[in-house]
Structure 1
Amino acid sequence: MRPSTTSGGHNCRRGVQLRQHRSQDFRTTQLTSDFFVERLKAWGVTRIYGYSGDGINGVLGALQRAEGTDGEIEFIQVRHEEMAAFMATAHAKFTGELGVCLSTGGPGATHLITGLYDAKSDHMPVLAIAGQAETTVRGASYQQELNLDRMFADVADFVQEAAAPAQLRHLVDRGLRVAKSRNGVTVLILPKDLQDMAWEEPKRAHGFTRSGPGYSPPRIVPHDADLRRAAEVLNAGRKVAIVVGAGARDAADEVVAVAERLGAGVAKALLGKDVLPDELPFVTGAIGLLGTKPSSDMMEGCDTLLMIGTGFPWAEFLPADGQARAVQIDIAPEMLGLRYPVEVNLHGDAGETLRGLLPLLTQQQDRGWQDGIIAGMDDWRETLKGRAMADASPVNPQRVIYEMSPRLPADAIVTSDSGSCANWYARDWQVKRGQRGSLSGGLASMGAAVPYAIAAKFAHPIRPVVALVGDGAMQMNNMAELITIQKYWQRWADPRLIVCVFNNEDLNEVTWEQRVMEGNPRFPTTQSLPDVPYARFAEMLGLTGIFVDDPEQLSAAWDRALTADRPVVLEVKTDPNVAPLPPHVTIEQAKAFMTSMAKGDRGAAQVVADTARQIIGGIRGRL
C-alpha cells in the first residue's frame, strides 16, 4: 500500500514538524524550568528524590538538559512520593543539608504529605517541588487540579504557587532561605505551562522584586547574664541529670565536659540516641517509654535538670513539678519551657551556649550521685543481656539487636521503623563513637526505615547501613523500596545495606498497647499479618536473602550480612509475645495486662510465661 495522502497523514507529518520546531526552541531558549534548576544548583542542591508525572515534566526536562554540566543535580527515582519525602528528610538528618523531593501535581503531591510532616516534626530543612495543572485551567476543577497551597499550608513554613516566570526567582530564594533558617519545610508549586514558558528576569521596575541566593546560620548565644543565672542553678545542684536530643549532636564534647564537671548522668531522647556513645559510663541510654530503668531512676532522684536540644515529648518521665530546678538550651525558642517548668531558658546553639557556660561551672567534688548512676548502668547491662538471651518462640527480638550491636563497624548508620522494633533499637543497640542513627521521631510514622536507609546510603556511600523494620511497615510500603535498592546499589562504593525484618506476623506495638493500655486481649482481626517470605523476595530481585528461625543462627547471619557483596534482607522469625516493656510498669498497666489475659487472649499462656514475671517484678505505684 502507498503512504496515505489523506489530510490525516498531512496533519500527522505537520505535528512531527511542530514538535521538532518546539524541541529546537527548547534547545536555544532558556525556559523557566531551566532557570529553576540552575537556581537550585546555586543553592547547593545536589540530589532530588522523586517520581515523575506530566505535571512536573518541564522540570524533569530541565534536569535532563542539565545532565553532564558542572554541578549536575542527581535525580533518584523512588517507588512512591511518600518515600521521596522520607528520603529528603533523612538526607537532611544525615548530612545537615537541605533535603529535596519532587512530585507531579494532584495525587503525587498528596502522597508527599506524610514524609513532609516527618520533616516538620523533627525540625529538618526540606524543599518539596510539586507540579500543578496549567495556569489557564486553575479554578476549573480540571484533572489533578487541587488547591495545593492550602493543602500544604499546615506542614510548610513557606508555600507558594508560582504564577509568572519573573516570580520564580524570589520564590526559590526566599523559600530555601526559610527552610534553612527555620529548619522547616518549603513547598514550591509550579504549574505545568509555567515550567515551559520562556524565562524572564524580573525587571527593575515597580511591581517586581529582585532577590539573591545564599544563607549562613548565625551564631546564637544567650546574654552573659542569662548564662550566669543558668550556672547558679546548675552549680547549686547535687544530683544533676542531663537530657540531650538531636539538637546537641554537634555539641557532644561540650556535653561530656559539662557532665564530668557537674558529676551528672546523661539520658538520651530517641532522636539524640547517637549524640553520645553508650560506652561512656555516665550515659544512661534512652529515656521515656522506650527508655532504660537507669534513665527513669535518674529522673526520679535528681534535684537539677539540664535539657539540651530536645523536644522529648513524654513529660511524665521528667521529674515531678517542684522536685528539680531546671535549665534548658534550644535553638528553637518555641520549644523552651514546653515540657517542664524551667527556671532558666537559654535560646542558643547548643555548642556555642555550652562553651559559654562551661567556664562558669564549678567542679562537683562529691561523685556519689554519678557513681550511683554508673553502678545502675552496670546492672542494667546485665538485665539487657538476660532479656536478650531468654528463651523465646522461635527467636527473641531483643537478641536480634543484641547480636548486631557489637558487630557493627564504627562508621555504621542504623535506621529504625516505628513499632516494637523501635524499642529494641532504643535499648539494645549500644552506640559507638562515630555511628549514626535515626528514625521518624515526632511523627513516629511507620514506613520510614528503608527510605531513611536509602538516603543514608546515597549521602554516605562508603558507610554500611542497617534498617530495622517490623513486618507491618515492610508490607505497608518498604518492600517496594527494595526495588529502589536493586536499581541503584551498584553505584555505592560500599554495597552493604542490610534490611533486617522482624517477622512476627503481628502489628506488635499496637497489640501490646491493646493489652497494657486498654486491658483488651489481642484482636486478631486488626493485628494479624500474612507471613510473607521477605528473604526470598529479596533473592528474586537479585539481592541476598537470609532467613533465621533459630537464635543460634543469629551471630553467623549478621556476620554473613555484614560481609556480603550486595544489599541483604535479613528476615528473622521473631516471637510476638516478648513484651516491649516500659522502664517501669505501673500498677494500672499491670492490672490492664492481667485483665487482657483473663479475657482470653490467644496464646495467653505463652504471653504470661514470657512476660508476667517481668511485669509483676517491675511494678511500682500505690496498691
Structure 2
Amino acid sequence: MTTTVSDFVIARIKEWGVSRVFGFPGDGIGEFDGALGKAEKDGVGVEYIRPTHEEICSLMATAHAKFTGEIGVCIATSSPGAFHLLNGLYDAAMDNQPVVAIVGQQGLDALGTFSQQQSNLERTFADVAVYVQTIVSPAQAQAVVDTAFRMARVRLQPAVIILPHDVQGMPMPEVGAENWVSRSSAVAPSTAVVPPADELARAAAIINAGEKVTFLVGHGANGATDLVLEAARKAGAGIITALRGKQVVPSDVPHHTQQLGLLGSLPSLHQMKQCDTLVLLGTNYPYGQFLPATGQARAIQVDLKPEQMGLRYPTELNLWGDVAATLAALVPLLEQKTDLAWQNHIAEEMVDWESEMDAQADVEYDDGVNPRRVYHELNKRLPPQAIVTADAGTTADWYGHHIRLRRGMMGDLSGRLATMLAAMPYAVAAKFAYPERTVICTIGDGAFQMLGMNELITVKKYLSRWENPQLIILVLHNDDLSQVSWEMRTEDANPVWSTSQDVESVDYAGWAELLGFTGIRVTEDGQVADAWDRAFANRGVTLIDAHTSKNVPPLPPHITAEFARNTAKALFKGDPNARGAIRDSAQALLTEGIERVKDTLHLGRDDKDKRDDKDARDDKDA
C-alpha cells in the first residue's frame, strides 16, 4: 500500500520519541486522522487522547512537556480548531516548553481564495511559535517535520506544522539528492550546554567572595536537584524557588524558604533584602520589585534562554548553559564556606514562617471554610510521588504558601501566562504520563466552570487506562472570581464589581456524582481533615466541593503602603463584600503575631534588616 504524507508524519514523530498526542478531529485534518486510526489498528500508531476542546489539547500537550521533559504534541483541524489551540501554545511559549502543533488546512488550491475555514494560519501562529510552516509538497514534509521538532526542543518553544487536506493524502516519495529538496534527520542536538572554563572560573570567584549568597531556582533547573543542593552547601547559600521551580528543591531542606513575592514567604523576602550575591538558576522570575536593590548584590544567571538573561536584575555574569551541566562543572570550583551563620539564620526564620502558616490555617471565619486550612490539611497527607496542580488565582497563593513538595513529588501550573482553567488539563495530562501516581488538581470555581467541568467527562472516558485511578479534584467554591476581586482592591483601589465577579453557584460534588465519581461537600472547617482522609482512601476519582470564604486575603509577606491604601479606598467606596473582607483581613493580620506585625510596621528592626527610606515611609503609612 502506498505510504502517504500522513503515514510518513506519524512514523516520523514516533522517531522523535512521541508516544502520545492530544487531538480533536475535524474535516481539515481528516485525512491525517484517518491515518492515525489506521496506524492504531496496525499497532504502529501513537496513543491518541481526545479531550473535550482543542484548547485543552494544547494545554495538555504543554503539561506533558512540563511533567515529562518530552516534546508535547497537539493536533487540531483548520481555522476554528487551530485558533482554539492558541491559549495553550502561548502557555508553552511563555513557560519555555517544547510543543509541536499539527493543524489542518484547506486544500492548496483554496489558499487565499476566501474558502470556508481557510485562513492565514502562518500569520495566526507567527507570534506564538518559533517555527511555522505549511507543507505544500510531499518532498518538503521530512524537512518541515524535523525542523519543527528540532526547533521546539532546542529553542524550548512551540512550533507549528500546517498540513493542507490534499497534501495529507498525497503519496510520500523517497527523498533524494535533488535541487531544492532538503534531506533531514530526526535528531536534535544536545542541550547539555556548558559555558567556557574562564566564565565558570569567574562565576566561582563571585560566589566564593560572597558572604550572603542566595540561589533563586526555577523550573529550568529540573533534574539538577542534587547539584543545586551541593552548590548551596558549599556556598553556604539560602535557596528560594520560583513557583514553577517548587519541585526542584525538596521542602525539607531547612534553608529552602519556598517562594518569593506576593505568594511567597517572609524569609524569602528577607533573603532578597540582605543578600550580597544572587545566583539565578533556570528562572525568568518576572517580579523585579522583589529582587535586591540595584547595586546591592553581585548577580549571576544560568539559563538556556540567552534572550531572557540580565532582564530582571543587572547581572554581572550571564552563563549560557544548561543548569545541570553548568553546575556539574561549577561545583568543583566552589570553596566550602566555614561560616554558615547566613544559612542557619535563614533556616531559623523559616521555622518561624512555618509556624505562622500553621496559625493562618487554623483561623476560623464566619463566612465559609478557611481556604488555607484546605491546603494545609492536603499538604499533611500528600503521598510519596504525588503530583499537585494549581490554577491561576488564589489557588496559586495557597499552593505557594502551604504546599511543600518533598523529593520525588511534582507540581506545576500555568506560570508566566497564568491562564485560568489550566489546572484541570494539567492534572489529566499528568495522570496519562504517570498513571501509577496520585494526582491532585486544585482549582477555583470560576476556572472549573470554564472548561474544567468538561474535563471530568474526559476523565470518565479514559479512567480505565490508569493503573492507579486515584485522581482528586479540589474545587474552591466561593461563588467569586476572588483573585481578581482582590486585585481590583489592592491594585486599582476599586470596589468589587459584582456584575463581573460573581460566579453562579453549582453543585460541583453533584456533578461528579452524576458521572459516577465520589463527591464530598465541605461546608465547615471541622470537615476538612475528614474530607481529605476520605479522598485519599478512595481508589478512584474524588471531587471535594469546598465552600470557602471569598474574603480571606491573600496577604503578601510585606504589606506596602500602596497595598494598604488601595484596599482601604476600595472597601470604603461601597465594596459589596466590605464587611467580610475587613473582618477576615483583620483576623488574618492578628494571627500573624507580634513579630510579623512589627516587621510590617517597621518596629524593632535591627541593623541587619534595614530597609531603604522609601520602604520605611511605606511601612509607617501602612
- TM-score category (smaller protein): over 0.9
Indicate the residue corresponding to 2:577 in structure 1. 603
Return the match for 1:537 from 502, 511, 515: 511
Q: Does 1:491 align with 2:468?
A: no
SS at match of 2:279: strand
Return the match for 2:230 from 257, 260, 268: 257
Q: Which amino acid aligns with 2:401?
A: R
Q: Does 1:219 align with 2:171?
A: no
Further displaced range: 392-401 or 571-580:
392-401
**Separation in structure 2 between the aligned mates of residue 85 and residue 184 of structure 1, nearest angstrom:** 13
Indicate the residue corresponding to 1:163 in structure 2. 136
**1:530-569 correspondence to structure 2 within 5 Å:** 530-569=504-543
Indicate the residue corresponding to 1:20 in structure 2. none
Q: Which amino acid aligns with 1:558?
A: W
Give how far 1:70 is off.
4.9
Structure 1 residue ranges without an equivalent (≥5): 1-27
Indicate the residue corresponding to 1:9 in structure 2. none
Indicate the residue corresponding to 1:322 in structure 2. 295
Give how far 1:171 is off.
0.7
Give how far 1:204 is off.
2.7
Give how far 1:37 is off.
1.1
Deviations 1:330-378 (A, max 9, x none): 1211121111111111111111211211122122222221111111101
Give how far 1:602 is off.
2.1
Give how far 1:565 is off.
2.7
Indicate the residue corresponding to 2:97 in structure 1. 124
Is residue 413–residue 456 contact of structure 1 (8 Å, CA) maintained in 2? yes
Return the match for 1:173 from 112, 132, 146: 146
Give how far 1:200 is off.
2.3
Is residue 449–residue 467 contact of structure 1 (8 Å, CA) maintained in 2? yes
**1:354-365 correspondence to structure 2 within 5 Å:** 354-365=327-338
Indicate the residue corresponding to 2:220 in structure 1. 247
Indicate the residue corresponding to 2:11 in structure 1. 38
Give how far 1:175 is off.
1.1
Q: CA RMSD in A?
A: 1.3
Indicate the residue corresponding to 2:612 in structure 1. none
Is residue 259–residue 265 contact of structure 2 (8 Å, CA) maintained in 1? yes
Return the match for 1:352 from 325, 337, 341: 325
Deviations 1:78-97 (A, max 9, x none): 11101000000010111111
Is residue 89–residue 118 contact of structure 1 (8 Å, CA) maintained in 2? yes
Change (3 A) 1:619 1:529: farther
**Separation in structure 2 between the aligned mates of residue 507 and residue 471 of structure 1, nearest angstrom:** 8
**Separation in structure 1 between the aligned mates of residue 532 and residue 397 of structure 2, nearest angstrom:** 20
Q: Does 1:306 align with 2:279?
A: yes
Indicate the residue corresponding to 2:308 in structure 1. 335
Change (3 A) 1:603 1:206: closer
Indicate the residue corresponding to 1:87 in structure 2. 60
Q: TM-score, normalised by structure 2?
A: 0.94
Indicate the residue corresponding to 1:297 in structure 2. 270
Return the match for 2:208 from 235, 243, 246: 235
**Separation in structure 2 between the aligned mates of residue 231 and residue 356 of structure 1, nearest angstrom:** 10
Deviations 1:296-334 (A, max 9, x none): 111011111111110000011110001111111112111
SS at match of 2:347: helix
Q: Does 1:64 align with 2:37?
A: yes
Q: Which amino acid aligns with 1:52?
A: P
Further displaced range: 32-41 or 524-533:
32-41
**Separation in structure 1 between the aligned mates of residue 174 and residue 111 of structure 2, nearest angstrom:** 24
SS at match of 2:300: strand
**Separation in structure 1 between the aligned mates of residue 232 and residue 41 of structure 2, nearest angstrom:** 51
Further displaced range: 446-455 or 359-368:
359-368
Indicate the residue corresponding to 2:172 in structure 1. 199
Give how far 1:551 is off.
1.2
Deviations 1:197-229 (A, max 9, x none): 222233432232222212242431111111111
Is residue 282–residue 302 contact of structure 2 (8 Å, CA) maintained in 1? yes
Indicate the residue corresponding to 1:269 in structure 2. 242
Indicate the residue corresponding to 1:456 in structure 2. 430
Indicate the residue corresponding to 1:423 in structure 2. 397
SS at match of 1:369: helix
Q: Which amino acid aligns with 2:469?
A: P
Q: Does 1:106 align with 2:92?
A: no
Give how far 1:69 is off.
3.9
Deviations 1:169-209 (A, max 9, x none): 11111111111111111100011111122222334322322
SS at match of 1:571: strand
**Separation in structure 2 between the aligned mates of residue 589 and residue 209 of structure 1, nearest angstrom:** 58
Is residue 590–residue 619 contact of structure 1 (8 Å, CA) maintained in 2? no
Q: Does 1:401 align with 2:370?
A: no
Q: TM-score, normalised by structure 1?
A: 0.94
**Separation in structure 2 between the aligned mates of residue 418 and residue 144 of structure 1, nearest angstrom:** 32
SS at match of 2:257: strand
Q: Does 1:584 align with 2:558?
A: yes
Indicate the residue corresponding to 1:24 in structure 2. none
**Separation in structure 1 between the aligned mates of residue 326 and residue 545 of structure 2, nearest angstrom:** 45
Deviations 1:4-58 (A, max 9, x none): xxxxxxxxxxxxxxxxxxxxxxxx3222211121111222211110111011111
SS at match of 1:206: coil
**Separation in structure 2 between the aligned mates of residue 540 and residue 318 of structure 1, nearest angstrom:** 48
Indicate the residue corresponding to 1:208 in structure 2. 181
**Separation in structure 2 between the aligned mates of residue 268 and residue 579 of structure 1, nearest angstrom:** 23
Change (3 A) 1:361 1:529: same
Structure 2 residue ranges without an equivalent (≥5): 591-596, 603-614
Give how far 1:619 is off.
4.9
**Separation in structure 2 between the aligned mates of residue 165 and residue 351 of structure 1, nearest angstrom:** 40
Aligned length: 596
